Amino acid sequence: MDWIIFILVVVWLGIVSWFDIRKNEIPHSAWVIIPLIGACFYRTWQGNWALVLLTILVAAVSERERISQLFGWEEIGKMITWFPLLFLGVYLSVQTSPFATLAIIGFWAAWEFKWWGGADAVSAITVCLIWPSEIFIFAFLGVHIIVTIVLFMRSLIKGKSVKVHSVPGLPLLLLAIILYQIFQYFYILV
């Protein structure tokens, strides 16, 4: 079952990464929303409903302005209104998956602060729901650190100065998944 999920995720991330590299966007939000819903069902089936609750709350907070317009209630559109529910979601999920909880909050915050695109954040949360282990988080961080160092060195060598680079996030997430599976393989052997 694990290899089937891995192959499905690699194919999905491969397709959306291709769009991200070519056009800096995905063709439709369904490309990330449908896998997120599937990951929520999978994580609930695996028994970690608290992580799914946090994900649903984070998604609702991200859409707070639309929800506010839908219900015609201005207070719902303010971030402060959602803090008690977010705190509850974090409190419940951190007990079972502390690394995944912090990662989901971090991915959401990166989107809220406009450091990441929405597809990057939703995809990272989706993958975090599928593999909520610290090994995935370390693989994710490792890929980003390596890419940052390589781009830093490239800037110094090529331009004699340091530049800020914009790198598509979905291909990096795909690399993190592959690195995670390599770590998992060697972890099982040891």
Q: What is the DSSP string of 40-108?
A: HHHHHHTT-HHHHHHHHHHHHHHTHHHHHHHHT-GGGGSHHHHHHHHHHHHHHHHTT-HHHHHHHHHHH
Tokens of 162: 């340091």
pTM, rounded to two decimals: 0.89
Give the torsion sign (CA, 94, 39, 136, 4).
positive
Tell me, what's the pLDDT at 154?
82
Asked if residue 131 lies in contact with residue 103, where contact means CB atoms within 8 angstroms, the answer is no
CA distance 170 to 162: 24
Query: Residue 19: which of 171, 129, 173 has the closest Cα?
Result: 171
What is the maximal distance between C-alpha atoms in the chain? 57
pLDDT digits (tens, 9 = 90+) for 86-117: 999 999 999 999 999 999 999 999 999 988 88
Single-letter code of the amino acid located at 158: K
pLDDT digits (tens, 9 = 90+) for 8-28: 999 999 999 999 999 888 999
Residue that is written with structure tokens 């397709």 in the block: 15
Tell me, what's the pLDDT at 106?
95
**For residue 89, how far is the Cα from the chain centroid?**
17
Collect all residues with Cβ–Cβ distance below 8 Å to 133 and sequence separation of at least 6.
Answer: 99, 100
CA distance 109 to 182: 28
Instruction: Look at residue 190 and tell me whether its pLDDT is greater than 70.
Output: no
The per-residue pLDDT of the chain, averaged, comes to 90
